[in-house]
Amino acid sequence: MNWRAPQIVVRASQPDCTAEANRLAQLTGLPVEEFSESQESVADGNSSPWTLLVKPLELSLIRPDGLSVEIDFIRGKGIQRSREANFHSQPLARALSVKKFRQRTGQTPSIIDATAGFGTDGWMMASLGCKVQLLEASPVLAAMLMQALDNARNTAAAAASDSTLGERNGCNPAHNISVINTDSVQYLNNHGNAGADIIYLDPMYPQTRSKALVKKGMQLLHELIGPDNNGAKLLNSALNKASYRVVVKRPKGAPPLADTTQFTRQNFTGHSFTEHNFTGNISTVHSANTRFDIYHIDRA
Ligand SMILES: C[S@@+](CC[C@H](N)C(=O)[O-])C[C@H]1O[C@@H](n2cnc3c(N)ncnc32)[C@H](O)[C@@H]1O
């Protein structure tokens, strides 16, 4: 529990990227390190800062020991999954229940992914044809998401491979995604018209496996973000603002995100949670390592 946020500096990888590095430093509130040819090697030791390295059309987040992560929607895990033949019947798609929503309303559900992270799940939701708003509290991740989306929007290949990138009409999922750097609890609570048919939550969960077994992206994410302690608040805000369902991703065997007996109308206690249309009905979809808890909203 003695997590400390790493220090991060923004650095241009080449002189051409200096203006973009300065822009990102302003956007994220991080210090910028002037470009110099001698900065090629990566610093070591725990006290050295991490680097947000600004390359042409790419941002790399680099730990002092050189371990790095990028967000790349075009070559990433999300796109691989969305190309799988059974994509529409995979657990995420079943948990969102896009097909049933369409049958009922004739429309595709709008989604707020209130814990965007690397945007992998968000990309998959957009690949199902949904409009997805990514909310991410970390300014660094939000900047990386925005850059990756710009790249995906501009990549001709993305639009060309019609049957795989988008569900219908060869649409590029990147055009269905927007990003806001914000705290989702604040955003959902304070914006009267903030809301969506589905709100998706995948908060950080304490690492249970040894570091060696955890993929490098997740390792860096845990060190960058630290533990999330706002699960109950997130769920409460989401239940207030979703009109169809709230879907919560949990590791297999993990407890539910919060004790929802406090949330139902029948048991509503009034002090810390506001009233909403949550029916009290929760169903689950299981996959190998993950569980999706689905909180059904009363649409009456
Ligand atoms: C496990 S990651 C999500 C991974 C994501 N589903 C993906 O596919 O890459 C959790 C993310 O939620 C973000 N987060 C947690 N609480 C948040 C909040 N209240 N508002 C916005 N983002 C939040 C964290 O910063 C972190 O990036």
pLDDT tens by residue, 197-206:
999 999 998 7
Q: What is the band of 74 on the pLDDT scale with cuts at 50, 70, 90?
A: confident
Same-domain status, 37 and 81: no
**Strand ordering across the sheet containing 278-286:** 177-181, 131-136, 110-113, 196-201, 242-251, 290-297, 278-286
Q: Is residue 1 a part of any domain in this protein?
A: no
Same-domain status, 249 and 223: yes
Answer yes or no: is the C-beta of 137 below 6 A from any ligand 1 atom: yes
Same-domain status, 165 and 189: yes
Distance (Å) of CA 73 to CA 62, 228, 271? 19, 25, 42
Same-domain status, 91 and 177: yes
In this predicted model, what pLDDT tens digit does every residue of 108-158 receive, in sequence order? 999 999 999 999 999 999 999 999 999 999 999 999 999 999 999 887 554
Same-domain status, 59 and 131: no
Residue 67 has pLDDT above 90, yes or no: yes
Same-domain status, 61 and 137: no
Nearest to 107 by CA among 115, 99, 117: 99
Closest atom, ligand 1, to C-alpha of 233:
19
Long-range contacts of 77-84 (CB under 8 A, 24+ apart): 77/120, 78/119, 78/120, 78/121, 78/122, 78/123, 78/124, 78/127, 79/123, 79/127, 79/164, 79/165, 81/124, 82/123, 82/124, 82/127, 82/164, 82/165, 82/173, 83/164
More confident residue, 75 or 188: 188
In this predicted model, what pLDDT tens digit does every residue of 169-228 receive, in sequence order? 457 899 999 999 999 999 999 988 889 999 999 999 876 666 655 688 889 999 999 888
Same-domain status, 94 and 226: yes
For the chain, what is the domain count?
2
Helix (H), strand (E), coil (C) string for 144-157: HHHHHHHHHHHCHH
* The pTM of the whole model exceeds 0.85: yes
Residue 32 belongs to domain spanning = 8-69
Query: 104 CA to middle of ligand 1, Å?
Result: 30
Which residue is associated with the tokens 């973000």?
A: 225
Contact 84, 63 (CB under 8 A): no
Answer yes or no: is the C-beta of 120 below 6 A from any ligand 1 atom: yes
Among 77, 228, 229, 234, the mutation site with the greatest number of ligand 1 atoms within 8 A of its Cβ is 228
Residue 129: strand, helix, or coil: coil
Answer yes or no: is the C-beta of 141 below 6 A from any ligand 1 atom: yes
Query: 32 CA to middle of ligand 1, Å?
Result: 25
Same-domain status, 206 and 65: no
Q: Is residue 239 a part of any domain in this protein?
A: yes
Among 77, 136, 149, 186, the mutation site with the greatest number of ligand 1 atoms within 8 A of its Cβ is 136
Contact 152, 158 (CB under 8 A): yes
Q: Is residue 3 a part of any domain in this protein?
A: no
Residue 267 has pLDDT above 50, yes or no: no
